Amino acid sequence: MSAAAAVPIRERAGKTFDVERIREDFPILRMKVHGHPLVYLDNAATSQKPQTVIDALVRYYEGENANIHRGVHYLSQIATEEFEKARETVRAFVNAAQASEIVFARGTTEAINLVAQTYGRAHVGAGDEVLITAMEHHSNIVPWQLLCEEKGAKLRVAPINDEGELLVEEFEKLLGPKTKVAAVAHVSNALGTINPLQKMIAMAHRRGVPVVVDGAQAVPHLAVDVQGLDADFYAFSGHKMYGPTGIGVLYGKQALLEAMPPYQGGGDMISSVTFEKTTYNKVPHKFEAGTPDMAGVAGLKAAIEYMNGVGIGKIAAHEHDLLEYATGVVGQLPGVKLIGTAREKASVLSFVVEDVHPHDIGTILDQEGIAVRTGHHCAQPVMERFGIPATVRASFAVYNTKSEIDALARGIRKVHEVFA
Ligand SMILES: Cc1ncc(COP(=O)(O)O)c(C=O)c1O
């Protein structure tokens, strides 16, 4: 596999990377909030959109809109062509073998639910086990809990250490004869930890266990190669990678997708319907019931083209510089404790400040125009693991700058003054 599939790229952002030039691509960054320039550090929740993505949405509605796969008329054919071209763009982006392995979904959450409700329901039975990790987002916990409840199966959880790294040997020990599926985050949204995914997948495969990867926080920051990783399923959301909301992707190996029962029933997923029997369309259409988000797909294609234009290596290198800088600057402030200090991290700085609730910090930072996320980040078990109710999370994207991190540090000093 390419090394890029498992580790963040360590190339330097370099001279050709001009963050001020990049910032011009994102109209929202010109905004002022409470009289201050917007400092947007909530990218792990959702990233901002470049003009090219916004234009792609408008272009779709102005010049392409028609329902796909069904019409013989001009617009329907154009819309269908563009939709399938976008599938090919996504295929190349994650290096899937075939475009038919790319299923469009609403986002990571729907993609994981799809696998749990199809592959999971077909393969997990009473007494079986589903293995996850202690750093999962609720989207990669609850769908498996629902499945386990329905089937009388057991959810097993591989633990993490105080740095927020997975105990890989424990993960391996938990892969037993009863394990029917493993579902793991590529990158933790609450801690920033990058998991040694290639190694974990190889461990699972040695025991015949397929692996579902939650790639929501990886795809915006790392070059992902699903074939190199040998992932069985890989889910991600468009809106965290400069694309529109409401569109995401499930990658699945062709043979697995073909063998799976459908998820939802409706238009487009069928081959023929009678009252006695319905036969299903071929993959990926079998999993795309109803009218899809065609505009969203056009926007996702534009987002991938934007990322490719900048270069995923340059994005990763710039964000790595920002994370190192922020770890130094914020980590040294009095009373600040970083939560998540793994050796391999991507773009997330989670922290608490002694004697101040994260929500108060978020509110004071907001008054300075700084947007961070405070709370449990849909990862309550992670908070429990660290014995805290919440953290402040600053998360970085291609358009963030070191001076924004300095503004964050000034904001935290202000928090100290208010609570002194
Ligand atoms: C790691 C991780 N998984 C899943 C999700 C859910 O993504 P979505 O809400 O786009 O479905 C998120 C969103 O924050 C996430 O960070």
Q: Mean pLDDT, to the nearest integer, of 393-417? A: 97
Q: Which atom of ligand 1 lies at the shortest distance from residue 45's CA?
A: 14
> In the annotation, is 148 catalytic?
no
pLDDT tens digits, 261-317 = 999 999 999 999 999 999 999 999 999 999 999 999 999 999 999 999 999 999 999
Contact residues of ligand 1, CB 6 A cut-off: 44, 107-109, 137, 139-140, 185, 189, 214, 216-217, 237, 378
Residue 9: what pLDDT? Answer: 41
Q: How confident is the model at residue 13 (pLDDT cuts 50, 70, 90)?
A: low
Q: How confident is the model at residue 15 (pLDDT cuts 50, 70, 90)?
A: low
47, 132, 144, 189: residue to mutate for ligand 1 pocket, most atoms within 8 A of CB: 189
CA of 79 to the centre of ligand 1 (A): 28
Q: Which atom of ligand 1 lies at the shortest distance from residue 240's CA?
A: 10
Q: How confident is the model at residue 14 (pLDDT cuts 50, 70, 90)?
A: low
Spatial distance between the Cα atoms of 419 and 388, rounded to a whole number of angstroms: 19
CA of 238 to the centre of ligand 1 (A): 10
Q: How confident is the model at residue 6 (pLDDT cuts 50, 70, 90)?
A: very low
Spatial distance between the Cα atoms of 364 and 114, rounded to a whole number of angstroms: 40
Q: Nearest CA to 409 among 394, 389, 391, 388? A: 394
Spatial distance between the Cα atoms of 307 and 241, rounded to a whole number of angstroms: 8
pTM: 0.96
Residue 20: what pLDDT? Answer: 97
User: Does the pLDDT value for residue 254 go beyond 90?
Assistant: yes
Residue 71: what pLDDT? Answer: 83
User: Does the pLDDT value for residue 96 go beyond 80?
Assistant: yes
pLDDT tens digits, 148-201 = 999 999 999 999 999 999 999 999 999 999 999 999 999 999 999 999 999 999
Q: Which atom of ligand 1 lies at the shortest distance from residue 111's CA?
A: 11
Where do runs of H (alpha helix) occur along 137-217? 142-151, 168-174, 197-206
Q: Mean pLDDT, to the nearest integer, of 315-340? A: 98
191, 378, 380, 393: residue to mutate for ligand 1 pocket, most atoms within 8 A of CB: 378
Radius of gyration of the chain from Cα atoms? 22
Q: Which residues sit opposite 154 in a β-bridge?
A: 129
Q: Which domains does the chain have, with CATH numbers?
A: 3-49+311-415 (3.90.1150.10), 56-308 (3.40.640.10)
Q: Nearest CA to 141 among 200, 184, 190? A: 184
Spatial distance between the Cα atoms of 144 and 196, rounded to a whole number of angstroms: 22
Among 378, 380, 401, 409, the one annotated catalytic = 378
Residue 3: what pLDDT? Answer: 37
Q: How many beta carbons lie within 10 A of that of residue 75, not counting itself? A: 14
Spatial distance between the Cα atoms of 47 and 256, rounded to a whole number of angstroms: 32
Q: Which atom of ligand 1 lies at the shortest distance from residue 377's CA?
A: 14
Spatial distance between the Cα atoms of 51 and 34, rounded to a whole number of angstroms: 24
pLDDT tens digits, 191-239 = 999 999 999 999 999 999 999 999 999 999 999 999 999 999 999 999 9
User: Does the pLDDT value for residue 7 go beyond 80?
Assistant: no
CA of 43 to the centre of ligand 1 (A): 12
112, 137, 300: residue to mutate for ligand 1 pocket, most atoms within 8 A of CB: 137
CA of 109 to the centre of ligand 1 (A): 6
Spatial distance between the Cα atoms of 117 and 231, rounded to a whole number of angstroms: 18
Residue 400 falls in which region: left (phi positive, over 0), alpha (psi -120 to 50) or beta: beta
> Quick one: what percent of the chain has pLDDT higher than 70?
96
